[in-house]
Structure 1
Amino acid sequence: MKDIVDAITSGAASTGDFSALGLPESCRAVVLHKSEVDMFEGLTSADKDPRKSLHVDEVPVPELGPGEALVAVMASAVNYNSVWSSIFEPLPTFAFLERYGKLSPLAKRHDLPYHIIGSDLAGVVLRTGPGVNLWKPGDEVVAHCLSVELESADGHSDTMLDPEQRIWGFETNFGGLAELALVKSNQLMPKPNHLTWEEAAAPGLVNSTAYRQLVSSNGARMKQGDNILIWGASGGLGSFATQLALAGGAHPVCVVSSPRKAEICRAMGAEAIIDRSAEDYRFWKDEHTQDPREWKRFGKRIRELTGGEDVDIVFEHPGRETFGASVYVTRKGGTIVTCASTSGYTHEYDNRYLWMSLKRIVGTHFANYREAWEANRLIAKGRIHPTLSKVYPLEETGQATYDVHRNLHQGKVGVLCLAPQEGLGVRDPELRAKHLDAINLFR
């Protein structure tokens, strides 16, 4: 492994040099153990501790198949699906691996008693399998997390509709929180040259998700001048939605939960900000009953910030806690676009405010190949920036995931895998210098 790291950090190794490197038989990876899926039985979600379920183990390097690439992972990042995996909710991820393993002999490799998680990476291609032409050893890459088979016609106009669509590192094995990761070669995209390894690893999942949800014709179809309500606007997903809204000429109304998070939204360029903690919005009277008076108070506050206008789009991802308010505050004919549901999957709303006002609810999930590529292109051009706030070593991934689970973080939390320290991997210092303040904003 040292020879691999030395070749990468030298910046001078050729394709031939990388091809000549020997591959180790094993590597370190962040794993869940199938034998521990019941370890949190009887606990509430909040009391489940990723530091207890996530382990750093030495695991065999997976066999490389056709159309695949083995990547030396310099850095990765924690997403909310890392949290779900670590607390075995809504169900243990081993159910996904078992189902995938039944698809083919090649897919059977994923059905193991351990699950290497992680849906982001930045690193270097070490090997490619038969049929891979676009990528070669030594290429510096990032990976998006869409894994598809594309044997069904359903996925050929939008790859997210493939019946065998999965999220790599969540519904498949051999994810990015490891020293070596296995991906399909069509997950790979060029690493933005002006970013460090840890910065380049951070945007992948959330930036692509926000792009499809907000910008794409498969999502809300944002246009110039739209008022957009963004929940958790300084968080891992919301921070990219805020940037995309501002870059696209829209008017974000940023909902945050602290003065510090409000400050970050202002630094990104947002002007309309609602601090839920300061204004004490309580959309539920109790566990079973919502409070429409709070929806109305919230809508009035939004109109104060928009010159009397309701929002055209609501960027939804909290789910149960906020969905009733989201449907209410959307303008007539507007769109609520939803993914994730981090506060609960069972959404409740008053349908009169949907059907009588001709509103739309649109469900989106990650992004197709083209959307992921376009989202990464914006990062590479310096139009959208990473929102990395803190970086942990691989050994402390449990703590990093705990931070995200308990909402102790801002933006994205990164993890160093093979990178020996932060700050490595920049190939275009001139472009970096132009955007350094924005890149470091969440630090």
Structure 2
Amino acid sequence: MSDLLQAAVAGAAPEELLSIELPSSYRAAHLRKEDVGIFDGETDKDVRRSLHVGEVAMPELAPNECVVAVMSAAINFNTVWSAIFEPVPTFAFLEKFGQQGWHGSRHDLPYQQVGSDGSGVVVRVGSAVKSWKVGDKVVISPSYVDEEDHASYDDGMMNETQLAWGFETNFGSLGEFCVVKANQLIRKPAHLSWEEAGSNTLCAATAYRMLVGKHGAQMKQGDVVLVWGATGGLGSYATQIVRNGGGIPVAVVGSQEKAELVRAQGCEYVINRCELDLDESGFRHPKAGRVLGKAIRSLVGEDPKIVFEYLGAETFGTSVYVAKRGGKIVTCGSSTGYRHEYDNRYLWMRLKQIIGSHAFNYHEAVETNRLISRGMIHPTLSKVYSLDAVAEATRAVQTNQHIGKVAVLCAAPSENLGIDDPELRARIGEDKINLYRR
């Protein structure tokens, strides 16, 4: 561990952090361009073969960027996609980015440091950075937006050059250091540990935009919302956001244990898909919508006004079917496959809408972390790994052997560090903060 990293871990003052030189290299989880193609013809594309932990070079800092000493990061499904080189190798994104001049060319390397969620300490700021200083404790938004593009002033996600940091860029969160734009930084929730704070933003803010943001479904009080995979990374925040906004979440889960967990979150209506009368084709069967729709109505007496979709091919046809007349299916991903089939009659004849939602803008990320900082949204962290075990952590997400979120300690030497407001934490309660770790 470098002197600078040790100082950041110890909580050194800004003056001390500035007096220590940046290391020329650091340890990080990364992919190698030479490995593209290693999974050709294979069915089990085991990410433990493609993810490596080792030394990478410290990049040169642009004027609008900061270097963050990463205390903890989280595994998201985009890291799985990167590590299996699908649907295209993310090195293609780096090559395209590299054509945008010096700032982009730094990213076009024979390796990619991945990771899109994290928490840490700012240790360097570029000459154009105004709102952040060395020593600030932060979490990181993965939305990488060009602030000179006019579209970003309406909605950063409408920016044609918007990228997902650590997926479509280099220097992501899964390392001892990372490089971010200043407009990716957010104040760390003071009552949370490094691993708790660093595991929320990507999934929680995505759910926020999908459900309550003006660019999503715009949920209102009393709306019934069907949440697929309600104990997953996205679903575990969606159920909280629906309840906070006066909606009625109906959670779909895959086991009795998960059903009990989501009820402990305060979700009254839960459907265990294993108890539904489905054939071996599951929710892909044309009649599955009738089965699920009946189950939903038996619980809440009506069809869902909003369907929270991110599973894709496995569930999308059923989602279109079960949505209420005039209802909305809001989708942000396709973890079970990108090519969806659904009966279009149920969409047009019943005046339903499909809303595409991708990530979130900076304002939505800040608003989401404000709710987290006030104890209105809680972490759904279930397990913590070391940086050396990042491939095992990613494999757990790849094979769905997890609930909620999975974190990786990068520079933090142990769990439960970085808590600056123990009084607020005590008022909120460990039972809520650590629900998914029971």
- In structure 2, what is the Cα distance between the partners aligned to 1:162 and 1:204? 20
1:149 deviates by: 1.4
Q: Output aligned runs, 1:313-392, within 5 Å.
A: 313-392=306-385
- In structure 1, what is the Cα distance between the partners aligned to 2:280 and 2:227? 16
Q: Aligned letter for 1:78?
A: I
Distance 1:367 1:285, change over 3 A: closer
Distance 1:367 1:43, change over 3 A: same
1:295 deviates by: 1.1
- In structure 1, what is the Cα distance between the partners aligned to 2:277 and 2:134? 54
1:386 deviates by: 0.7
1:119 deviates by: 0.1
Aligned counterpart, 2:278:
281
Aligned counterpart, 1:437:
431
Distance 1:280 1:16, change over 3 A: farther
Aligned counterpart, 1:19:
18
Task: Using structure 1 for the length normalisation, give the TM-score.
Answer: 0.96
Aligned counterpart, 2:129:
132
1:280 deviates by: 4.8
Aligned counterpart, 1:8:
8
Q: Output aligned runs, 1:119-198, within 5 Å.
A: 119-198=116-195
1:285 deviates by: 7.4
> 8 Å contact 1:198–1:414 — kept in the other structure?
yes
Q: Aligned letter for 1:81?
A: N
Q: Output aligned runs, 1:206-221, within 5 Å.
A: 206-221=203-218
Aligned counterpart, 1:65:
62
1:2 deviates by: 4.6
Residue-by-residue CA offset, 1:315-360 (whole Å, 9 max, x unaligned): 0000011011001100011100001100111111111111111111
Please state if 1:292 is matched with 2:292: no
Q: Tell me the secondary structure at the aligned position of residue 363 of structure 2.
A: helix
> 8 Å contact 2:223–2:305 — kept in the other structure?
yes
Q: Tell me the secondary structure at the aligned position of residue 271 of structure 2.
A: strand
Aligned counterpart, 1:32:
31
Query: Runs of 5+ in structure 1 lacking a partner?
Result: none
- In structure 1, what is the Cα distance between the partners aligned to 2:137 and 2:160? 31
- In structure 2, what is the Cα distance between the partners aligned to 1:8 and 1:300? 55
> 8 Å contact 2:276–2:292 — kept in the other structure?
no
1:282 deviates by: 4.5
Distance 1:198 1:241, change over 3 A: same
- In structure 2, what is the Cα distance between the partners aligned to 1:125 and 1:350? 50
Q: From 213, 222, 234, give the equivalent of 2:231.
A: 234
> 8 Å contact 2:5–2:176 — kept in the other structure?
no
Q: Aligned letter for 2:432?
A: A
1:130 deviates by: 1.4
Aligned counterpart, 1:255:
252
- In structure 2, what is the Cα distance between the partners aligned to 1:220 and 1:188? 26
- In structure 2, what is the Cα distance between the partners aligned to 1:56 and 1:97? 20
Q: Tell me the secondary structure at the aligned position of residue 98 of structure 1.
A: helix
Question: Which deviates the most, 396-405 or 148-157?
Answer: 148-157
Question: Which deviates the most, 428-437 or 325-334?
Answer: 428-437
1:249 deviates by: 1.2
Task: Using structure 2 for the length normalisation, give the TM-score.
Answer: 0.97
- In structure 2, what is the Cα distance between the partners aligned to 1:407 and 1:221? 30
- In structure 2, what is the Cα distance between the partners aligned to 1:115 and 1:222? 38
Give the fraction of aligned pairs with identical amino acids, expressed as a percent: 55
Residue-by-residue CA offset, 1:183-219 (whole Å, 9 max, x unaligned): 0011000000000000010001101111101110100
> 8 Å contact 2:67–2:122 — kept in the other structure?
yes
Please state if 1:93 is matched with 2:86: no
Q: Aligned letter for 1:181?
A: C
Distance 1:4 1:282, change over 3 A: farther
Please state if 1:425 is matched with 2:418: yes
> 8 Å contact 1:323–1:349 — kept in the other structure?
yes
Q: Aligned letter for 1:3?
A: D
Please state if 1:394 is matched with 2:398: no
- In structure 1, what is the Cα distance between the partners aligned to 2:58 and 2:257? 42
Q: Aligned letter for 2:20?
A: L
> 8 Å contact 1:9–1:425 — kept in the other structure?
no
- In structure 1, what is the Cα distance between the partners aligned to 2:371 and 2:278? 35
Q: Aligned letter for 1:7?
A: A
- In structure 2, what is the Cα distance between the partners aligned to 1:170 and 1:35? 17
1:283 deviates by: 8.3
Q: Aligned letter for 1:4?
A: L
Q: Aligned letter for 1:62?
A: P
Query: Runs of 5+ in structure 2 lacking a partner?
Result: none
- In structure 2, what is the Cα distance between the partners aligned to 1:21 and 1:426? 25
> 8 Å contact 1:32–1:116 — kept in the other structure?
yes
